[in-house]
Structure 1
Amino acid sequence: MEPIVTLSAFSEIDNYESSINDVAMYFTDEITNIFLMINFACLCGLISFLGIIANIINLIIFYRQGLNTTINIGFFSLALSDLCSLVLQQVFNVFVNLRLSNSDVPVVFVEIQFLTATLSREMFTTITSLITVYITAERCLCIVFPLQVKQMISLRSTIVVMIVIFAVTLLSPIAIYSTSYLEWKFYPNINRSFLSMGYKDNFETCEVVSYFIHAIVGLVSYLAVVIFTLILIYKLQEKHTFYRKANLNQDKTRSLSKRDRTTMATVVLIATILIVCFIPAGILCIMSFLEPEFNVRDKYHNMFYCLWSFAMLFESINSSVPIVLYLRMSTRFRTQFRLLFYRCLCPIESSVIKNKTW
């Protein structure tokens, strides 16, 4: 028996398409250029520049502290991923500036930046989210299983996990790169040839699947960070209550309470920053999966660009702010920071912090 398709079903589809069209009509070329100028040329450019400097500092400090603990390896890998993401963001910003300046260079900047900067940048933002999950999970295990954690998470296993995260994520867009290429296209209306993207037959399918996988990985990462954070907070509160009931020394109890509060504040900030800054990109990936024409080439290209300008701005902020958390939460990091930049103003015996870690 044939399935019955009612008129109401067609009406719902028409209303859905009509609502998208109503929103898309506000994203004119002029409005799009304004958003790109503000978010990419100004805000992202400044934040990425400062973030690159901050992550270079992070790499130097964690390397000097020594990559001999799992947490230092995690933070070093996070800084490396954030640095690569911000460098590619700056490359992306250059393409946007060339496009807005109406440069006479025979290049379709929107398509070239997609292949050279956008895909690579999104890979490193995914790496950042996965490393954040690992760091949060490790801190959770340290509290839940303090005696067994060294057997559960070793230095070698952490290095292997970091390598696997980088390798698998960097190899993930092979399908898109294998179905696209650069070519010279002739445009009869202006009688010129431009360097742009060429596509194979299955490119759109690979692109949609890639957006879907990226959205799923992002969603799983957010949920994992939230779950691990909630477990960590619960266990810390449980320990704090136990120590108070055991009538331990007042100074020790007070010190433990301060340490607990600092740890909880750190993981809550990590989770909050990750969720707030990465949710917009996850939503847009889902939109691209649900609406095939929501991309840089088709019907909703202006809306796509405007919304992604905000998502990429948030991701740039996420990659730039860890140094603030480190300086606020870690005494050893602050000491190394002073040694690196204020040796003359704040003389500190280098032997005090030699071989010390996070």
Structure 2
Amino acid sequence: MYAHSTEKDNTTRYPALDQMTENPFHLLEDHSKDSPMLTLASGILSKEQFYIIFLFIIFTSQIINNCAIIANSLSIAVFVKLGFSEPSNISLTALAICDFTLAVLLTWNNVCFWLTYNNVPLPFHGANVSSLTGGAQWAFLSSTVAWITAFISFERCICILFPLKVRRLITPRGTFVAMLIIILLTFCPSFFIYIRYKFVWIFDPYLNITILNTLPVNSELAILFEQISFVICGVIQPLLAFSIMLICTVLLVVQLRKISSWRLSVTSVKSQRVQPEENSAPSSSAAEARISQKEERLVRMVVAIASIFIVSYIPSCIMILGYVVFDEFNLFGVYSRLFIVSSNIISLGQPISGSVNILIYYKMASKFRSVFRRLVHLDRQKPERHELK
């Protein structure tokens, strides 16, 4: 009885947001009234609770998105100043661009839902249009970020396993081509969703105006194409990228420990053989030690980036599996509210990961730190002193 009165009160309290229930996606409706779990699902998340949680998530998400936009903008600017002669700079720049775009897409979705919640009349349906112009692209771009991170981890594995052939195996041109291929295979398919859904102008009786909305294309070919795209791009690609990233990160940690201990033992043995009179000139072992330390710092940085992404991406993998296993855990099922809240909470992991990366670059990459400090005017160049004549 209480749940029923809450639903009714919210209809008058949030008319614009309640209007979202009358759309092809059925975002806020429970669709199986005969389900034995309906009472439990409604008790967990009534409309009042859903609105409160959803708005809190939007507010929190936007704070994180702003941090991600600023952080990745600075990262891109620093990498551009560093140049792209190193393959790692190319892949890290691509990662920063994708993280920046993810934050922008999430911002677009948050703005649309916030305006709809505040009953701001829009010339388009906030939930549906933002889903096709931001939500779908965000989902595919998350897979792109996963694959770029997996490629960076794989690239470092090649550097450790084949150190003598790394210059031939990994080149700036090859890395650039790899980034293009990853984007084409993971992000570009997001535009194929317009085969399944189309934009239409409809009359909105609530606003008494004609607005832009979306409608599904119910042809058998469009439905089949959507199902195949979801299986390949929504399930197989993210899980495969996550598996590759996890394996490469574990290999990096294991190999890094072995190489660090081996180099330490070799360096200590060579230092004992150095004659006193040779200490004045830089030895080849010292140069090798400096190079090894530089390589180790880069590997440790990649391990840190991959580890943070793995931690933030595990909930997404669990949700993908839950979407596949449980039929009602989706936008159309009984647990649609739980699905929306869960997906929005999980989506916070992506901008958090993108915001933290710049701290890793700053801490572990000396060149990045030097350029960053000059870029934000933390290091002021001392004026040259001219001799008085």
- Which TM-score band (shorter chain)? 0.7 to 0.9
Q: Retained in 2: the 8 A contact 1:339–1:348?
A: no
Shift of 1:307: 0.6
Q: 1:128 to 1:193 in 2, by over 3 A?
A: same
Q: Which of 235, 252, 271 lines up with 2:255 in the alignment?
A: 235
Partner of 1:224: 244
2:45 to 27, 31, 35: 27
Question: Cα gap change, 1:196/1:227 in structure 2, threshold over 3 Å: closer, same or farther?
Answer: same
Please state if 1:154 is matched with 2:176: no
1:310 aligns with 2:329: no
Matches within 5 A, 1:84-123: 84-105=101-122, 107-123=124-140
Q: Which residue of 2 aligns with 1:300?
A: 335
Q: Which residue of 1 aligns with 2:17?
A: none
What whole-Å deviation, never above 9, does each CA across 1:182-233 have from its counterpart, x for those lacking one? Answer: 2245678998865432112245555454443323222222221121122222
Is 1:140 aligned with 2:160?
A: no
> Which residue of structure 1 aligns with residue 89 of structure 2?
72
The C-alpha deviation readout for 1:33-63, integer Å capped at 9, x for no partner, is: 11221111x1111111121111111111101
User: 1:248 maps to which residue?
Assistant: 270
Question: 1:299 offset after TM fit, Å?
Answer: 3.6
How far apart, CA to CA, are the structure 2 residues paired with 1:24 and 1:210?
32
Tell me what 1:212 maps to. 231
CA contact (8 A) 1:327 1:333 kept: yes
C-alpha distance in structure 1 between counterparts of 2:382 and 2:253, whole Å: 35
CA distance in 2, matches of 1:147, 1:348: 42
Equivalent AA in structure 2 for residue 346 of structure 1: R
CA contact (8 A) 1:212 1:289 kept: no
Which segments of 5 or more consecutive residues in structure 1 lack a partner in the other structure?
1-16, 350-358
Moved more, 242-251 or 208-217: 242-251
Question: What amino acid is aligned across from residue 262 of structure 2 in structure 1?
Answer: F
Q: For residues 90 and 335 of structure 1, what CA distance do their matches in structure 2 show?
A: 31
Q: Distance in 2 between matches of 1:317 and 1:179?
A: 32
Give the deviation of 1:333 after TM superposition.
0.8
**Distance between the aligned counterparts of 1:209 and 1:29, measured in 2?**
33
Report what 1:180 is aligned to: 197
Alpha-carbon distance in structure 2 between the residues aligned to 1:311 and 1:183? 31
Identity across matched positions, percent: 26
In 2, Cα distance between equivalents of 1:256 and 1:151: 18
Judge conservation of contact 2:157–2:251 (CA < 8 Å) in 1. yes
Contact 1:208/1:288, CA 8 A, preserved across alignment: no
The one-letter amino acid paired with 2:116 is R
Pick closer, same or farther for the CA change 1:81–1:21 going to 2, 3 Å. Answer: farther
Residues 107, 194 of structure 1: 8 Å contact kept? yes
Q: Which amino acid aligns with 2:100?
A: L
* Contact 1:208/1:289 (<8 A) preserved: no
Root-mean-square deviation (CA, aligned residues, Å) is 3.0
Identify if the C-alpha distance between structure 1 residues 105 and 154 changes in structure 2 by more than 3 Å, giving closer, same or farther. Answer: closer
The alignment's TM-score, normalised by the length of structure 1, stands at 0.82
Cα distance in 2 for partners of 1:289, 1:208 equals 12
SS of corresponding position for 1:102: coil
Give 4+ residue runs of structure 1 displaced > 6 Å after superposition.
Answer: 187-193, 253-258
Runs of 5+ consecutive residues of structure 2 not aligned to the other structure: 1-34, 273-284, 384-389
Q: Distance in 1 between matches of 2:300 and 2:41?
A: 39
Shift, 1:174, TM fit: 4.1
- Range that drifts further, 259-268 or 82-91: 259-268
Structure index of larger Rg: 2
**What whole-Å deviation, never above 9, does each CA across 1:283-334 have from its counterpart, x for those lacking one?**
2233333445543355432112111110111112122221011011111111
Contact 1:110/1:296 (CA < 8 Å) preserved in 2?
no
Aligned counterpart, 1:327: 362
Call closer, same or farther: CA 1:124–1:206 in 2, change over 3 Å: same
Q: Given the superposition, is the C-alpha separation of residues 205 and 114 from structure 1 closer, same or farther in structure 2, using an over 3 Å criterion?
A: farther
1:136/1:225 contact within 8 Å kept: yes
Question: Residue 143 of structure 2 contacts residue 187 of structure 2 at CA under 8 Å; is this kept in 1?
Answer: no
Residue in 2 that maps onto 1:36: 54
Return the TM-score normalized by structure 2.
0.76
Change (3 A) 1:48 1:191: closer
What amino acid is the match of 1:286? L
Q: Measure, in 1, the Cα distance between the counterparts of 2:322 and 2:230.
A: 9
Cα distance between partner residues in 1 of 2:228 and 2:42: 24
